[in-house]
Amino acid sequence: MSERPVIRLRPKSRPQAIRHGFPWVYEDEVVLDRRTRKLTPGSFALLEDAERRPLATVTVNPDSKIVARVMDLSPDAVIDEDWLRDRLARALQMRTRLYDAPFYRLAHAEADGLPGLVIDRFGDVAVMQPNAAWADAMADQIAAALTNVAGVSTVILNGQGRTRGLEGLAERTEVLRGTAPTGPVPVQMNGATYLADVMGGQKTGLFYDQRPNHAFAQRLVAKGEVLDVFSHVGGFGLAMLAAGADRATCVDGSAPALDLAQGGARAMGAEDRLTVLQSDAFKALEQLAADGRQFDVVICDPPAFAPSKSALEAGLRAYERVAKLAAPLVTPGGYLGLCSCSHAADLTQFRNVSARGIGRGGRRPVLIHSGQAGPDHPTLPQLAETGYLKALFFRLD
């Protein structure tokens, strides 16, 4: 048996949840004595149940509400570069079966057995987000395993975002292997060209999770005008231009993101069919309505309005407001797509506020399709947070 530190569940905790695949242990579920509180964030320990029976090898962070994350159900697992290579090889095998080109999410945290670690691949470049203390501490070993398993030459660490703060991790961005690209990386998806800013863009530079929802939106348009609100680098707008839309308008608050959208349209030969509008999305929706504008397809893909349970009520109100403002902008018989990446808001809640908002906007909705993230973003059934993305497509009469 390993000589690593031991942390123990409280008597009323449920060890069967861990045995059945739940990957987190919260601070109120373990004995947090002086010894446990002194453990280094990101270190590894043996998790035992209240009867001192071994459960799993975990990584510990006494500074987080998630005190322990399951790394391996073997109590004797050694978390080293060999272990990392094995996990990454399994993740890579599934992606290469699913995708013809090396552009995808390579590791999706807990769902790929790599708690808190996200890795997106852009051809020969991998961008990793170590959002758990262990992954931040082992960043160099992860980079080495990535180059060995996936054959990438450049590995970039993007240590930005709210999740790292919850783990007590400082923000940082650095190149761990190879050389940073001199400009945005072009990515082909669904016949469209996107430009990913892997050094300075949002998250890893591009959102792969919406790929199947972009493809569904393409089926709704053969021509006509489309509106993509909270567009980032042109996700839905560029996809629908590639499918034959006459014109697309992309609305976002970020000028750099819109510059990348224009660059993607230029690479597709569709620059003259794209209009960009830098604006607060709510103000833009109100102004477009005041101008009497309507579009054949309207998509709203906002940031997470409900990133936590405490923000749920306000987040649901914001989603309802988006639906209310967007509905009048859809031509009769046209389509409205509404998205949520808030794991705190489940599908039923999001569907209900979306329908209510559309009704308050004076339209009658018929739900024609519900979408989720692509298969390179697998869902761990025991952890709702891994199934965060929801996309609803309505036909408005």
Active site residue ranges: 341
Q: How many CB atoms lie within 10 A of CB 1?
A: 8
Alpha helices in the chain, H assignment, sequence order: 15-19, 34-37, 81-98, 133-137, 139-150, 162-166, 211-219, 235-242, 255-268, 281-290, 312-326, 347-360
**Long-range contacts formed by 373-376: CB under 8 A, 24+ apart:** 373/209, 373/210, 373/212, 374/104, 374/105, 374/208, 374/209, 374/210, 374/211, 374/212, 375/94, 375/98, 376/94, 376/95, 376/98, 376/99, 376/104, 376/105, 376/106, 376/108, 376/208
Residues constituting the chain: 397
Please, are residues 195 and 187 in contact by the beta-carbon 8 Å criterion?
yes
Among all chains, which residue has been given the structure tokens 């929802």? 213
Q: How far apart are CA 353 and CA 317, in angstroms?
A: 8
List phi, psi (to 5°) of 265.
-60, -40
Handedness of CA 113, 133, 210, 190 (dihedral sign): negative
Q: Which residue from 87, 150, 75 is spatially nearest to 116, judged by alpha carbons?
A: 87
